[in-house]
Structure 1
Amino acid sequence: MSDYNTNFTMTTNLTTPIRGGCPPVGIQLEGVILPPVLTIDVILGLLGNIVALWIFCFKLKAWNPNNLFLFNLVIADFMALVSLPLRIDALLRGHWVFGDGLCRINLFLMFSNRSASIALMTVVAVYRYFKVVHPHHRFNSMTKRQAAYVSVFVWLLVISPRVPMLAYNHIKGSGNGTQCFFFTSYKEASHAIIILIAMHRILTVLEFVIPIAMLLFCSIRISSFLRERKMGKPDKVRKAMRVCAAIVTVFMVCFLPTTVTTIGVWVIRSQSPLNCSAFYTFTQLTIVSFGLNFLNSALDPIVYVFSSSMFRKALCSSLPHFLRCGQDAGDAEKSASSSGSQSTNQQELKSLRSDRQSKAM
């Protein structure tokens, strides 16, 4: 009850600027909303990604670049899932008890997950786009080794801007008021932290705007390709369209709210530096929207199913017979019937040859 009163007092004083900026933002709204949301994210994300990891490691008989990109997406999801329990504990307690080192690692894993998930899903969509719209492009002849190089480049690209987070202390307050937040006050004491937060806000916006523009371009081009081409392999094109649609949906649900609230904090910070109430509101909404960021870890297994037929078939073959996918079961029956018809035709050819040989004799 005392923690609640402390937070309430802090909230009521947010409209009054203090020397050096607005007062720190404590745990209020996110302390109520985030624990159940993050708990659901962890449970669903662990279930889906453990199954995905099991299929990738033990059930997938062959690998291609697309599956390698998806496997890296599984790794990115686990980065968030192992960090969220500490965040849930801190929200339920009302303060952070794990020290400065784990605070830095926790924040680094959380923000790196967002960047890596966005980058890898974009790579999957672009890879599918080239497969469908530009089937003869040399990008489609990518080997597994080259795909591994692309994956390493993506990881370096998304992690490098986040590494400086590990160099600074993000602990705010002391005792039962200790918090581990990347930005919880209007003006930080360290000039380096101010620069780091500005970089973070720029990255948060750019890493959403640029990939979503690429995804929409791929979706529009694949859609127009589907309308123009009546011949060829329409199933392949439809699958590519479903992949792009699934990824765009994940982007809009999971990453758009954080981008919008981050822009709101940015505008208030630059245009209305004394409006502490508006700064508090948008900062709280930004922190709450992180719960949707990590929902992507629970939704990514759906992307795996849509974007990889090999993964989908391995998943369906691992399920009990009565739970197997109807289409894959039908494909199996078709292949069985086709192999049976081929063997029947071979037997008929053999009998005809033997009849001709007997007549010749």
Structure 2
Amino acid sequence: MENITSPFIPNPTCNYSMDLYYHNSPNRSDLNCTPPADYFFYADLYVVLPVIYSVICAVGLTGNTAVIYVILKAPKMKTVTNMFILNLAIADDLFTLVLPINIAEHLLHYWPFGEVLCKIILSIDHYNIFSSIYFLTVMSVDRYLVVLSTVRSKRMPYRTYRAAKIVSLCVWLLVILIVMPFTVFAGVYISPDDSDRKSCVLSFPSPESLWFKASRIYTLILGFAIPVSTICILYTMMLYKLRNMRLNTNAKALDKAKKKVTIMVFIVLAVCLFCWTPFHLSTIVALTTDLRTTPLLIGISYFITSLSYANSCLNPFLYAFLDDSFRKAFKKMLECRPA
């Protein structure tokens, strides 16, 4: 499943095989499209990418597992915001668990794991695109409601840990529904020139290029445009209400604890957008221009994909730096207690 979520569409004028068309993999390009000198560049990628993916996997799996453990074990950590953080960590953990399969496919140059696992892995890979931004959207809605209730000096009896569980379940079901088309079209492609050369790809019906572009637009709208627009509107309204409150009253807009949580959610959101915005912007470029696949373009493509993958391992560090309760819980977890 090498680079399934590659942001760039290769130049269709080049004689690419179907698996390259959907993977943008330099290892599978036609010799007429790739000068021999460029293979030195590809050899570097062959070594560097597994190292990058391995680091993301190790750091992400360790950090997100620690977050899950802390929230589940520490009674004081069972808050509404932490419920959403817990589900975000589970989604990131799920993705980092399948990264070794990405690495294996990259090193082997073919897909040896069968049809069922192809559908599962490709679905999880696409799930990673939607899950983080949707849980952050829900967290932004929650922060807005907290700010609104503080401004109006009202309580929110409906904002409970149980309600957060229900909302989290709804997010999981929504993202599964969104990813379902990718699961349906996922399959193992066998090269007509070599029966041993198998690839885990999105096998769209004809015309393939139109379906592929439609899938990119689908991902761009549902995985970026709608949730990011919602988040921007919420934070704009939030800042507007806080500014007006400071002008009209002498009371503090938020108490210290609520303010810290709001800042933490905002920073986690900003990091997510930093990691994923290049991916979605490159999709726009790929849809509106006809780019020739060059070593530079492929290198940028891999960098953008790696940056989006890296988002799955950054959040635990943000929690540790920005939240005192997380930091204390992490330290307590690492303490060696005597028998």
Q: Deviations over 1:7-66 (max 9, x none)?
A: xxxxxx967455999974433466455322211210110110121122122233452222
> Distance in 1 between the 2:64 and 2:19 partners?
41
- TM-superposed deviation, 1:208: 1.6
- 1:178 aligned onto 2:198: yes
Task: Indicate which of 264, 274, 280 corresponds to 2:285.
Answer: 264
- TM-superposed deviation, 1:251: 2.2
Task: Indicate which of 251, 263, 275 corresponds to 1:254.
Answer: 275
Matched to 1:211, the amino acid is P
> Distance in 2 between the 1:23 and 1:82 partners?
25
> Distance in 2 between the 1:42 and 1:152 partners?
25
Q: Deviations over 1:317-346 (max 9, x none)?
A: 43549xxxxxxxxxxxxxxxxxxxxxxxxx
> Distance in 2 between the 1:318 and 1:20 partners?
50
- TM-superposed deviation, 1:74: 1.5
> Distance in 1 between the 2:302 and 2:48 partners?
10
Instruction: Name the SS of the counterpart of 2:292 in structure 1.
Output: helix
- TM-superposed deviation, 1:85: 0.6
Contact residue 213 and residue 287 of structure 2 kept, 8 A: no
> Distance in 2 between the 1:287 and 1:176 partners?
26
Task: Indicate which of 152, 166, 171 corresponds to 1:154.
Answer: 171
Instruction: Name the SS of the counterpart of 1:145 in structure 2.
Output: helix
> Distance in 1 between the 2:273 and 2:188 partners?
31
- Cα separation, partners in 2 of 1:245 and 1:142, compared to 1, 3 Å: closer
The runs of 5 or more residues in structure 1 that have no matched partner are: 1-12, 269-274, 322-361
Instruction: Name the SS of the counterpart of 1:260 in structure 2.
Output: helix
Contact residue 320 and residue 326 of structure 2 kept, 8 A: yes
> Distance in 2 between the 1:292 and 1:286 partners?
10
- Cα separation, partners in 2 of 1:59 and 1:19, compared to 1, 3 Å: closer
> Distance in 2 between the 1:222 and 1:205 partners?
24
- Cα separation, partners in 2 of 1:158 and 1:14, compared to 1, 3 Å: closer
Task: Indicate which of 231, 245, 269 corresponds to 2:266.
Answer: 245
Instruction: Name the SS of the counterpart of 1:82 in structure 2.
Output: helix
Instruction: Name the SS of the counterpart of 1:83 in structure 2.
Output: helix
Q: Which has the larger radius of gyration?
A: 1
Which residue is 1:130 aligned to? 145
Which residue is 1:6 aligned to? none
Matched to 2:277, the amino acid is L
Contact residue 53 and residue 103 of structure 2 kept, 8 A: yes
Matched to 1:250, the amino acid is V
Instruction: Name the SS of the counterpart of 1:142 in structure 2.
Output: coil
- TM-superposed deviation, 1:255: 0.7
- TM-superposed deviation, 1:246: 1.2
Which residue is 1:56 aligned to? 71
Count the aligned residue pairs: 299
Task: Indicate which of 84, 96, 99 corresponds to 2:114.
Answer: 99
Which residue is 2:309 aligned to? 294
> Distance in 2 between the 1:237 and 1:124 partners?
13
TM-score, scaled relative to structure 2: 0.73
Contact residue 243 and residue 306 of structure 1 kept, 8 A: no
- Cα separation, partners in 2 of 1:277 and 1:196, compared to 1, 3 Å: closer
- 1:84 aligned onto 2:99: yes
Matched to 2:55, the amino acid is I
Q: Deviations over 1:171-194 (max 9, x none)?
A: 3335564322448xxxx5545895
- TM-superposed deviation, 1:90: 1.0
Instruction: Name the SS of the counterpart of 2:78 in structure 1.
Output: coil
Matched to 2:169, the amino acid is V
- Cα separation, partners in 2 of 1:67 and 1:252, compared to 1, 3 Å: closer
- TM-superposed deviation, 1:281: 7.7
Which residue is 2:25 aligned to? 26
Which residue is 1:209 aligned to? 225
- TM-superposed deviation, 1:76: 0.5
Q: Deviations over 1:231-268 (max 9, x none)?
A: 33452454144224312322232211110111122224
- For the aligned residues, what is the CA RMSD? 3.7
Instruction: Name the SS of the counterpart of 2:112 in structure 1.
Output: coil
Contact residue 262 and residue 286 of structure 1 kept, 8 A: no
User: Percent identity among equivalent residues?
Assistant: 26
Q: Deviations over 1:270-312 (max 9, x none)?
A: xxxxx47269986875565222222121112134447766444
- Cα separation, partners in 2 of 1:167 and 1:23, compared to 1, 3 Å: closer
> Distance in 2 between the 1:14 and 1:279 partners?
10
Which residue is 1:166 aligned to? 183
> Distance in 2 between the 1:158 and 1:15 partners?
31
Contact residue 53 and residue 99 of structure 2 kept, 8 A: yes
- 1:72 aligned onto 2:63: no
